[in-house]
Amino acid sequence: MAKTLISTVSFHLACLFVVFLYTTYTSGEFEWMKYDNYDEIQDKITAITPQNCRGKSRDQLTVRADVVSQLPKYNELLSKVMYKNRTKLLHLHNMALNRAYFHSYMLQKFNESKSDFPSLPGWMYMYMSAVADVNANPFSLNGSSLFYDYNCSYPNWLDPYKFNTTLPLFGPSAWRWDDSRDSDNYLREMTLQTVMIKDFGASNHNYTDPSSKTTPWYNVYELPDTSSSMDSLTKFSYNIGFKYSNYTGAFTSQEYSVDSFFGPSQPGQTAGKIPLPVYFTQPYMDCGKSNQWIISSVSPVMDYMYRFVNWTHIRRPRIVALSVMDMYFKQIDFNACPVSTGNPGPSYLSGIARCKTKTTVCKHVPGMGFKRGGYSCPCRPGYRYPVSMKPPWRGIDIEKATNEEYKNGFSCTKTDFRSVLPSNRDLQKVNAEELAATLSITTWERKKRSVTNFFHNFFNSYNINYNETHMTFNPFTSETSSFSLDSEKVLKFAADSRKKVKERRKFHSRFRRSLIDKKSIFRIQKLFKKISSITSDNCENVVPENLLLPGDVGYGVSTQFEFQARTALRLAHFLSNYLQNANPNENFGYHKGGTRLIPQQIFGEVVANVMADFRIMSSGVFFDKYVFKESETKVKELFGPFAFRHRGLYRAIDSAGLQKPYMEEGWFVKSKQRWKLNTFGLKTYKMRAHVRTDFNGSSNIPFEYYPMRYKAPMLKDGFWTRPYFRCDGFVNKWVVTYAVPFFGIDELRTTVIFNGVVTVDIPLKLLRINQCPQPFYVANAFKNTARCPETTSCAPLAHLSFTIGSYRCNCKQGTEYPINDGKFWIEGSLLELEYIRKERGLVNR
């Protein structure tokens, strides 16, 4: 009996051991898929849950930093191309920098005397700003925080409070809340319209504690910043020129008044030890907050410390807070292809793609996130796909393949009869017409593989004799080839054949409609001439109608500049929330209600939009008539802070001082006509706010209005204008504008009303055009102008902007690239150049 029991236990233990080995050293659906780096990271992530994360060590709550590669760097943004798989990370980078610029400017602007103290942003301003960051970016940004260092926060929003007194810690932190269980959510699905925000400087949260396991961002910069040895490298001085207006149609001064402040560093491309203004943390488990694996971007906020002290010799710019933006780690793509020029390391997940590298290459496919299969396997040059499949081989299919399917498939077949382009030295004595005909035959006029290919080879090997009933053939008996290697004869024969073909086509051929729309080509040539002819020097003499371009010239702007539009949407969300919920006449125990917005706060917002994003040329907030109230008795007729970039400098004006009212601009008129009388369609967003119970932050409690609701637009509620030349004496460039409305509340606080428009301007030169064929209903001025041959398919290129030739011609299935030069496509810029050479009668291909 005992032996039986022991043998049974041993059997079960052996089974468990086998299962353990199987789960440890195999992965995926089939045994042939070996355990790799992806499985290692995936096992580490799945081992941590919201229930057990508090008991895990710091190493268990983080994964290695090189899991996320190709992170945006500030000093490389102007020289590097950011592809689709990194645009979200770039937006995360820019948003952290945006908030750092804003708070640095506000803290130093109102740091002179006791009278400046009430003008600092209050708790409600900072709460609503963080909530707007998250609500305006539902698919890219999932957390926003502002964490003050120890004794660096001077609250003007606590009542009673002592002037020049600090809080131990203050850290408003917002993250996306799963509202699927809310009582008013009858669909029981997450709406992405609810944000939880708490003060993480209160209760038992101490993010400055070295033993804290979920605050890796605190150690990115050396805090507390008590040493001045690195001030010249970590703090950069910015000068902003302002023009103010006290009444409509005139500025208080024609000269710019300059405000200086210290902000995050601004290193150049060749900067050595100068720290970057934004850093990314390694992925970590956000235990106790969102309970998700996230990655954070961190940027420092500067202030003059000590505040309100007349002895300037003891004051210095100091890092007083950190602007932190979060993104779900599983939303970030990784490149599974081997490390190469297009996939630079270090990258821990590189090389896990299962492409058969002998006959195929690996190409990244964006949009998969942290999942296998985010790659494709196109054939190498000199290889072709099987006839029965639609190229290329997809990674998601390979990851689901059985061992037999993988062993017998997902490879390419070698092609024959590849040629090499002759060198220019060999062609110097050749007639240009003969050369053009030969190159056209050998290079561009490729035909699909067919039975005739076999007959061509067959005829070259046999003598063919025809008669009326049948044909006979005999092999060549000569040991020498029947094909002469005399290049002059070959070229002459090719040219004569080409002439005969052209003559026959005149009488015996019908042509299909051309792939190239010549009318469109002529049209875009006129457009480029118009664009180059209008400059800042002559735009004032041009009729206003001629400063506009057709709307279809801006095709693709809504997708290429989505995150710049979301920057404007974020500001519209903040203004809508603040204007609808902040009441200066309310107090909530220790907490004062939201004070009125002051002009310098709105100026700071638009300046931060321009400074933090190289793609944004200018940004503005334009209030409707008699909406902006500075006090109970003072109302501005017009108020329109507008910031712009001019020759590397930053300037801001109050557009109310312009001679032409901004209310006559087309984007303002269109927004007002749509939203002035009918606000139907606005979404309701919720803010679940928790505030500290007392001055020392003993605990967090729900705010009195819980949850706080506000109505705000979505991205689709704004619109892009047609491209136009902004001839205002400030920008003076071809731009395209995104405009989105924001909303306040009436005097009775019962009805949401239109309050104004937020705009961002994007330089037209940054727009990538698409010349590839498209259906007739697509409003694209450049479609059907690519010069790709019929045997190729067109694909736009991402690294070229507003330029003709920004496409490539990929060879279709059955017409592989025949030239042995290491490529398998034809550059559009080369085609455009060769076509110009052809028109001018020069030697071309």
Flag whether pLDDT at 366 surpasses 60: yes
Residue 533 lies in a domain: yes
Cβ atoms of residues 80 and 324 within 8 Å: no
Beta strands in 200-283 (DSSP E): 235-243, 257-264, 279-280
| Residue 668 CA: distances (Å) to CA of 81, 157, 719, 737 | 33, 35, 11, 11
Q: 817 with 670, same domain?
A: no
Flag whether pLDDT at 106 surpasses 60: yes
Tokens linked to 804:
């003709």
DSSP state of 443: I
End-to-end CA gap in the chain: 90
Q: 539 with 627, same domain?
A: no
Residue 358 lies in a domain: no
Q: 144 with 243, same domain?
A: yes
Residues in the chain: 845
pLDDT: which is higher, 263 or 427: 263
Q: CA 93 to CA 295: how far, in whole Å?
A: 11
- Can you say whether the dihedral through the CA atoms of 492, 497, 502, 506 is positive or negative? positive
Taking alpha carbons only, the member of 800, 802, 805, 798 closest to residue 771 is: 805
Q: CA 680 to CA 677: how far, in whole Å?
A: 9
Mean pLDDT value across residues 519-541: 93
What's at 334, amino acid-wise? F
Tokens linked to 161:
């409070």
- For 825, the domain range is 524-552+768-839
Q: CA 33 to CA 49: how far, in whole Å?
A: 26
Cβ atoms of residues 302 and 109 within 8 Å: no
Q: Quick one: pLDDT at residue 515? A: 65
Q: Quick one: pLDDT at residue 256? A: 95
Mean pLDDT value across residues 448-476: 48
- The structural domain count of the chain equals 2
Cβ atoms of residues 690 and 701 within 8 Å: yes
Beta strands in 131-220 (DSSP E): 143-148, 172-176, 194-199
Residue 1 lies in a domain: no
Residue 29 lies in a domain: no
Span of 57-71, 77-91, 541-555 with lowest mean pLDDT: 77-91
pLDDT band at 7 (very low <50, low <70, confident <90, very high): low
Note the Cα 394 to chain centre separation in Å.
24
Q: Quick one: pLDDT at residue 398? A: 95
Q: CA 538 to CA 546: how far, in whole Å?
A: 12
| Residue 253 CA: distances (Å) to CA of 229, 491, 514, 658 | 40, 76, 60, 12
Q: 640 with 789, same domain?
A: no
Cβ atoms of residues 802 and 769 within 8 Å: yes
Note the Cα 517 to chain centre separation in Å.
32
Please state, as a whole number, how many other Cβ atoms lie within 10 Å of the Cβ of residue 604. Answer: 25
Note the Cα 347 to chain centre separation in Å.
20
Q: 199 with 294, same domain?
A: yes
Cβ atoms of residues 96 and 324 within 8 Å: yes
Q: Quick one: pLDDT at residue 365? A: 94
Q: 742 with 795, same domain?
A: no
Mean pLDDT value across residues 492-498: 75
Tokens 């334009």 found at = 622
Residue 242 lies in a domain: yes
Q: 738 with 803, same domain?
A: no
Tokens linked to 222:
């050396």
Q: 686 with 816, same domain?
A: no
Mean pLDDT value across residues 756-763: 98
pLDDT cut 70: percent of the chain above it: 86
- Per DSSP, the chain holds a count of helices (H) and strands (E) of 16, 31
What are 578-619's pLDDT values in tens digits? 999 999 888 898 899 889 999 999 999 999 999 999 999 999
- Residue 452's φ and ψ, nearest 5 degrees, are -65, -30
Flag whether pLDDT at 486 surpasses 60: no
Taking alpha carbons only, the member of 70, 90, 85, 74 closest to residue 347 is: 70
Where is the domain boundary, 737, 766, 795?
766
Is residue 200 within a helix (H) or strand (E), and if so which, with residue range? none
Q: CA 699 to CA 694: how far, in whole Å?
A: 8
Taking alpha carbons only, the member of 774, 771, 777, 752 closest to residue 675 is: 752
pLDDT band at 512 (very low <50, low <70, confident <90, very high): low
Residue 616 lies in a domain: yes
Where is the domain boundary, 766, 789, 815?
766
Taking alpha carbons only, the member of 611, 559, 589, 695 closest to residue 87 is: 559
Taking alpha carbons only, the member of 574, 474, 608 closest to residue 96 is: 608
pLDDT band at 27 (very low <50, low <70, confident <90, very high): low
Torsion, CA 479, CA 484, CA 485, CA 487, rounded to 10? 180
Q: Quick one: pLDDT at residue 647? A: 86
Q: 115 with 247, same domain?
A: yes
Residue 570 lies in a domain: yes
Cβ atoms of residues 701 and 691 within 8 Å: yes
Can you tell me whether residue 470 is helix, strand or coil? coil
Mean pLDDT value across residues 282-289: 95
What are 424-459's pLDDT values in tens digits? 544 444 444 444 443 443 344 444 445 444 445 444
Q: CA 304 to CA 314: how far, in whole Å?
A: 10
Residue 401 lies in a domain: no
Where is the domain boundary, 744, 766, 788?
766
Angle 81-87-92 (CA atoms, 0-180°, nearest 5)? 125
Mean pLDDT value across residues 140-158: 94
Q: 634 with 718, same domain?
A: yes
- Residue 357's φ and ψ, nearest 5 degrees, are -70, -10
Q: 635 with 754, same domain?
A: yes
Span of 297-306, 384-393, 469-478 with lowest mean pLDDT: 469-478
Q: CA 510 to CA 40: how far, in whole Å?
A: 62
Q: 585 with 622, same domain?
A: yes
In this structure, what CATH number is given to the domain that contains residue 96?
Answer: 3.30.450.20
